[in-house]
Amino acid sequence: MNGKKLLIIILFILLAALYFHFHLGRFISLAALKAHREELSAFYGSHRLATVSIFVAIYVVQTALSLPGAAVLSLAAGALFGAFMGTVYANLAATIGATLAFLATRYLLHDAVERKFGDRLEKLNRELEERGINYLLFLRLVPIFPFFLINLAAGLTRLPLRTFVVGTMVGIIPGGFVYCNAGASLATINDSGEIVSFRVLASFALLGLFALLPVFYGRFRKKGDGGNP
């Protein structure tokens, strides 16, 4: 590993260590958001551009470093900016942060993984190059795996950057809107776990299955053609 990559890894570890050492997570919590909502709203009323810029920057850093707090930040977006604009700002920030995590993982680790597991991953990589948008939409819509884990794992594959960005931006809209809409009624929320009900999860699962329909159709057609491409 060259010095530049090692320096980036050390920087990421240092930033994450500082976050946990100074307990910065206490500022990105539901309790803190509810306690300081009036002050934050007042600041937004006087400094709209600065508030949006600071919010987006915090969300980008949180997502890029795979730190906890995304759900609370989405609630904060709804509480400060309303359900619609909150979704827009949260989506933009989450997509940028996820893309940075994706690119960092690809730059730092992809070559090493390709050298060691390239042959075993070849089939997966071909599938992702062809239908990656469908798989990514499914993973973004259906919360089976943690958001940050998808960012990191995708960077180890040959999933095209454009596919990752589009799939992430589109795939997180429903979930983001649910949290931002809940944040607009922040006073009624006592725990972030109350937001996503079984009905909401079932709806996301259904959307995810729709995203996979082209994959199922392609496999069915290939099987009907006797396995010929």
pLDDT score, position 177: 94
pLDDT score, position 126: 87
Distance CA(40)–CA(76), nearest Å, equals 9
Task: Kindly report which listed range (108-117, 199-208, 212-221) carries the lowest average pLDDT score.
Answer: 212-221
pLDDT in tens, 119-168: 778 888 888 888 899 999 999 998 788 999 999 999 999 999 999 999 99
pLDDT score, position 215: 82
Among 197, 203, 166, residue whose Cα is nearest residue 179? 197
Distance CA(63)–CA(95), nearest Å, equals 9
pLDDT score, position 9: 87
pLDDT score, position 55: 97
pTM, full prediction: 0.88
DSSP 193: G
pLDDT in tens, 81-105: 999 999 999 999 999 999 999 999 9
Among 99, 98, 60, 101, residue whose Cα is nearest residue 77? 60
pLDDT score, position 165: 97
Tell whether the model's pLDDT for residue 1 goes beyond 70. no
Give me the DSSP letters along 149-192.
HHHHHHHTTT--HHHHHHHHHHHTHHHHHHHHHHHTTGGG-S-G
Distance CA(49)–CA(224), nearest Å, equals 56
Burial 140-178 (b: 16+ CB within 10 A, else e): bbbeeeebbebbbebbbbbbeeebbbbbbbbbbebbbbb
Residues 6+ apart with CB under 8 A from 112: 1
pLDDT score, position 224: 61
Distance CA(185)–CA(83), nearest Å, equals 9
pLDDT in tens, 165-181: 999 999 999 999 999 99
Burial of residue 114 (CB within 10 Å: 0-12, 13-18, 19+) is middle
The chain-wide mean pLDDT, for the chain, equals 89
pLDDT in tens, 15-67: 999 999 888 888 899 999 999 999 999 999 999 999 999 999 999 999 999 99
Within a 10 A sphere around the Cβ of 131, how many other Cβ atoms?
A: 16
Tell whether the model's pLDDT for residue 227 goes beyond 70. no
pLDDT score, position 107: 93
Within a 10 A sphere around the Cβ of 63, how many other Cβ atoms?
A: 24
Tell whether the model's pLDDT for residue 229 goes beyond 80. no
Tell whether the model's pLDDT for residue 228 goes beyond 70. no
Among 66, 64, 62, 53, residue whose Cα is nearest residue 24? 62
